Amino acid sequence: MGVVLRNLQKVVPVRRARLRKDVDTLRHILGIQKFDLGIICVDNHRIQQINNIYRKKNTPTDVLSFPFYEDIRPGKLPCPLHRDELNLGDIFLGVQFVMEQCQEESLDLHGALTVITAHGICHLLGYRHETEEEWAEMLQRESYILSEYNKLTGKHLEPLMKKCGQDR
């Protein structure tokens, strides 16, 4: 089925084709093309609601991941038995939150969305950043993904975790 893209908000003019292309490039780099993935673009209000329900944090944020496989070892791809299980889960992108940050730092919105999606996909693949070790492991993976992405596209994207180590 591939990437299911949903745009549930009207604050940010998201370019769907661009976002899909970027997500497809990330999937190609990670070798996860056979897995389904949900990308849902939401505004501050909605991501705050979800953040509050699932993480008890009543603030908007940039990304929330909901893995289909909750207990896989980082970097090990799941081995599903059925077609239904060829699914990594859903990533909610707080596009309004990301846009506001981009405006502050004069960054390209879609570049930032790619970085944030890469972070979200790492979570779906079992990476965490609750301990120092986990953080280093995840940063390494994100750096690899984005350096490959930069090679393919000529962009200069940097991992999200270089800037902040807070959990998402």
Partner 1 sequence: MLKSVVRAVGAAVRISSSTTSTARAVPLACATLCSPSSATIRPFTRSLWMLNNNGASSTYRPKLFSSKALNPSVSCGCGGLHTEGDKAFGDFLSDEIKEEKKLQKSQTLPKMSGGWELEMNGTEAKLTRNVSGEKVSVTFNVNNSIPPNFEEEVEQGQQKPAEEEPEIVSTPNFVVEITKKAAKHSLVFDCHFPEDEISHGDGEEESDIFTIREVSFQPEGDSEWKETSYTLNTDSLDWALYDHLMDYLADRGVDNTFADELMELSTALEHQEYIKFLEDLQGFVKCN
Residues that bind partner 1 (CB under 8 A): 1-10, 13, 15-17, 19-21, 24, 36-38, 40, 49-50, 66, 68, 84, 87, 89-90
Tell the smallest beta-carbon distance from residue 41 to partner 1 (Å). Answer: 10
Q: How far apart are CA 117 and CA 112, in angstroms?
A: 9
Quote the strand ranges of 21-140, DSSP E: 36-42, 63-67, 87-94
Tell the smallest beta-carbon distance from residue 55 to partner 1 (Å). Answer: 13
- Which pair of structure tokens corresponds to residue 120? 């979200």
Nearer of residues 111 and 144 to partner 1, judged by Cβ: 111
CB atoms within 10 A of CB 167: 12
Rg from Cα positions in the chain:
15
Tell the smallest beta-carbon distance from residue 131 to partner 1 (Å). Answer: 24
Dihedrals phi, psi of 82, to nearest 5 degrees: -115, 160
Tell the smallest beta-carbon distance from residue 144 to partner 1 (Å). Answer: 26
Nearer of residues 89 and 159 to partner 1, judged by Cβ: 89
Nearer of residues 49 and 143 to partner 1, judged by Cβ: 49
